[in-house]
Structure 1
């Protein structure tokens, strides 16, 4: 009797599976939506824990913030800076003073005027809370470093509300990337910290500075947004509402996308990427971020040796080759040199030989709900290579930002796999390698490099500035404190009936101007 029951259950299960497969196969060819709607549905993996200034865990959550809040400026896909709440600005001749004009028609969602003091209070609260992620970006503002060190107070921070319509920010030295920094999602204007921390219950009490407000949040894992009637650019907002869905599974998300229940998605199964590309529904966005391997070149660290950095750099440059082989010191004989603070003396043994080399990585999943393993996979490849060269390796995944900062500050690592923005326009990255920089936790010291950067900052002649920054880049490239592994790109997919989606050079989507084409309002 039991055997018969088991067979019946197995037969029913098999029939069910076959029916689902046939149904989905038919459905994929005949996508239809029975209900009419004229609003966009965007799916993200998880709703953010808060809407405050804590680091978000993926790009889709940042997309969500861009719908609700505006900043002084924003960045297009080419990195060009465009006006937002600040409709114009001036930069002093020496490049250290920025004067932002707050547009006259900028209002909070409760109807209150947005003024310069709102931005000052917001920036000061950011600094006061000492969110490490953001301090990297604004430590160049006069007074910020002293405040963080405890040697200055808030009054010494050079962020000034000159009057209601003018905000002045003064830097310690020129930074050509400062406007791009202000365009990042962490600097979107917010207040009501308590409500932002508990937005799921207090969304009605939040003042929004962006195009949409949260109208409803239900237990069906959906957020309903409605347009902000006080928004300064309302005439260009085409949709009155938008739905943000939460969906943990990329497979489920993709099926809902096929059914037309979702219009825009990020995370989808890799095997479906080609199919979406053939349907002309996928967009690949090259970003300024690059995947890099940073060497700890501090005292008594294995990769303080220039020869050992070159050894691994040679491997990394060929990491995608199928014929990986053991690389010995003989392979890099022409690259050997004796340089101050980078190479052990002739015959001197690397002090860490015999000890385990520690690889750390912090991998946040920005594209998919599934476990992201690209850094782990890379760490394993490096480990296998180093083992071939008779070196022991330990791999450690850093679980969160706080642990990462603690590990970096202690220097408790040999190799760090990460991503950073490295391009011709981003001088901030190069400033991180100055020997006395707060953000240089990697033991790199080169006086020639420091002087080149200082001359770049001090020079007023554009040709001299270009010459000095190029010299600094050459020194950094020769010293090899890091290896660029590969460029990164992000993908998203949108239905053919959706228009108006734009994005920035970080890969964030700007959805506030998105809309469903009139001819496609009814899709049956």
Structure 2
């Protein structure tokens, strides 16, 4: 009988012991994706993440990984609640109520409250540069607080309830929610401590899907802080160049490479390991109007030939940029009536004395090098004109230097929702009449219309669109279906490891 009971007890212990192993193994299976690590190379590991003024897009990616905002903008530019569960705007478009989700927590497990958000906006007003928080400065009393004229709690119209934050603006701002999706508005605690992020990362709490586990001059390690994160670890390395990142990618040591070398694009596309995303920045051709050396017919023909050069390059490298095709904004490429009218104008024939040499000045960048090289090669192969170009850095601001060249390549942000800023960036190149058209359009308080200025620019062939750029991202199989949000920042939570 004793032997019988002894056998039962021994058998029970064996079962319990084995079940312990089974539970552990099941746990590993259920958390398999959380064991995955994604590697990403950037040009430099930041020391200061407090202000966005001097941050690159890659540094902003870090802020977006470890912080969340009230609202976000997805890859289709749709604005959706993030920390908020709902956004209620009053009929006048002046007051916004952000109702907070019940399931939002800091990385230490404490709940994110309306008070936390109000305190963050208070810190942001004190610390961030004005140019980066124009939307927040439109809040009633915000500008006065930043100037030290009022107390935040009594003078600024950012108020808390039990489960929401209410913000009242000075005036209607249709772009307010869109601005709140940007990285600088992502919720961070003790903002001033982000100034020395390498010293303070372990003292901070984070509102995002990830937290900074460690950081030094060579590497940042982000660890999962949320069930919404599908990847457990993100290693961000400091790579000397995109070529170095690509070399590491080829031996499976990088999973994400931003804007890989042009020579790699076709191969990546064929392997279905390339994501291409339209960006708002574009390049424009500006004819030097200071000496009127090139007549209208000459400007027209030169522009047509340069467009042919861009088309020839794009046919061989079709992911770096989209041709402007006569459109000042990417969205206008859908306006076939306007494009056809411009095509008719551009095909007008006439005579002029063609020069033997044409000169181009532009800022030194990889994109401008490609454009200049393509133009030079095409003209050499298809015309009797020699194109010479100069790429400079700070000297591009030298007005006397600009006068010595026939043409300039000028970069601009072709954001259709910010046309006023777009045309103001070209102000120094406008004629007196065009500046009058610009001022007239700006002085209209509502429904600003820049179409007359735009047509004048095209008809006179002094400022003309060339190309709209794309962001290209090489991804490994491990990176899965990576997405980029509407502000151009990587959405790490979208990565779905295979």
TM-score calculated relative to the size of structure 1 = 0.62
Range with greater deviation from structure 2 (275-284 or 99-108): 99-108
CA deviations 1:50-87 (Å, max 9, x no partner) are 21113355333222221111222211122111111233
Q: Secondary structure at the match of 1:198?
A: helix
Secondary structure of the residue aligned to 2:493 is coil
Instruction: Specify the alignment match of 2:414 in structure 1.
Output: 421
Residue of 92, 103, 106 corresponding to 1:105: 103
Tell me the SS of whatever aligns to 1:515.
Answer: coil
CA distance, structure 1, for counterparts of residue 299 and residue 170 of structure 2: 38
What's the offset of the Cα at 1:506?
Answer: 4.1
Change (3 A) 1:136 1:322: same
Q: Equivalent of 2:476, from 487, 495, 498? A: 495
Q: Name the residue aligned to 2:290.
A: 302
Range with bigger deviation, 257-266 or 315-324: 315-324
Tell me how far 1:286 sits from its aligned partner: 1.6
**Equivalent residues in 2 for 1:308-457, closer than 5 Å:** 315-316=302-303, 318-322=305-309, 361=363, 372-375=365-368, 396-398=392-394, 417-423=410-416, 426=417, 428-430=418-420, 433=423, 442=428, 455=444, 457=445
Q: Are the structure 2 counterparts of residues 419 and 263 from structure 1 closer, same or farther at C-alpha, using a change threshold of 3 Å?
A: same
Q: Please, which of 137, 150, 161 is the counterpart of residue 158 of structure 2?
A: 161
Report whether the alignment pairs 1:124 with 2:125: yes
Task: Report the counterpart of residue 182 of structure 1 in structure 2.
Answer: 180
1:507 aligns with 2:484: no
Find the counterpart in structure 1 of residue 336 from structure 2.
none
Moved more, 475-484 or 60-69: 475-484
- Tell me the alpha carbon deviations over residues 273-293 of structure 1, each in whole angstroms, 9 at most, x when there is no partner: 222222111111122332345
Partner of 1:473: 451
Paired position in structure 2 for 1:350: none
Instruction: Please point out which of 442, 452, 467 is paired with 1:486.
Output: 467
How far apart are the structure 2 equivalents of 1:431 and 1:276?
A: 36
1:271 aligns with 2:256: no
CA 39–394 in structure 1, closer or farther in 2 if over 3 Å, else same: closer
Distance in structure 2 (CA, Å) of the matches to 1:73 and 1:317 = 44
Equivalent residue number for residue 37 of structure 2: 39
Instruction: Kindly indicate whether the alpha-carbon contact (under 8 Å) linking 1:286 and 1:488 is maintained by their aligned counterparts in 2.
Output: yes
Q: d(CA) in 1 for partners of 2:113 and 2:372?
A: 47
Q: Report Cα offsets for 1:207-264 as digits up to 9, x if no partner.
A: 3221111112357x23221122xxxxx3322233222222223333223222222222
Give the CA deviation at 1:511: 0.8
Q: Alpha carbons of 1:114 and 1:443: their partners in 2 closer, same or farther (altered >3 Å)?
A: farther
- 1:431–1:213: structure 2 CA closer, same or farther, 3 Å change rule? same
Whether the aligned pair in 2 keeps the contact of 1:43 and 1:264 (CA below 8 Å) is yes
Cα distance change of structure 1 residues 118 and 483 upon mapping to structure 2, 3 Å threshold: farther
**Cα distance in 2 between the residues matched to 1:136 and 1:443:** 27
Partner of residue 248 from structure 1, selected from 240, 244, 248: 240
Secondary structure of 1:207 counterpart: coil
CA-CA distance at 1:491 after TM superposition: 0.7
Distance 1:281 1:235, change over 3 A: same
Higher mean C-alpha deviation, range 309-318 or range 276-285: 309-318
**Aligned counterpart, 2:88:** 90
1:243 counterpart SS class = strand
Contact kept, 8 Å, 1:379 with 1:395, in 2: the verdict is no
**C-alpha distance in 2, partners of 1:422/1:266?**
22
Number of residues of Structure 1 aligned to a counterpart in Structure 2: 403
**Superposition deviation, residue 489 in structure 1:** 0.2
Report how far residue 117 of structure 1 moved.
1.0
Query: Do 1:39 and 1:516's aligned partners in 2 also have CA atoms closer than 8 Å?
Result: no
> How far did residue 168 of structure 1 move?
0.8
Cα separation, partners in 2 of 1:489 and 1:60, compared to 1, 3 Å = same
Q: Secondary structure at the match of 1:100?
A: strand
Quick one: structure 1 residues 218 and 506, their matched pair in 2 at CA, closer, same or farther if it must change by over 3 Å? closer
Q: Distance in 2 between matches of 1:277 and 1:76?
A: 23
Q: Does 1:284 align with 2:280?
A: no
Distance 1:236 1:113, change over 3 A: closer
Residue 515 of structure 1 and its aligned partner are, at CA, apart by 3.4
Query: Counterparts of 1:97 and 1:475 in 2: how far apart (Å)?
Result: 35
Structure (1 or 2) with the larger CA radius of gyration: 2
Q: Is the 8 A contact 1:122 1:190 kept in 2?
A: no
Structure 1 pair 474–87 and aligned structure 2 pair: CA distance change class (3 A): farther
Listed one character per residue, the Cα deviations across residues 456-487 of structure 1 (whole Å, up to 9, x for unaligned) are: x54xxxxxxxxx44x43343342468533211
The corresponding residue for 2:56 is: 58
Aligned counterpart in structure 2 of residue 226 of structure 1, from 216, 220, 223: 223
Contact 1:292 1:417 in 2 (8 A): yes
* Higher relative helix content: 2
Contact 1:159 1:170 in 2 (8 A): no
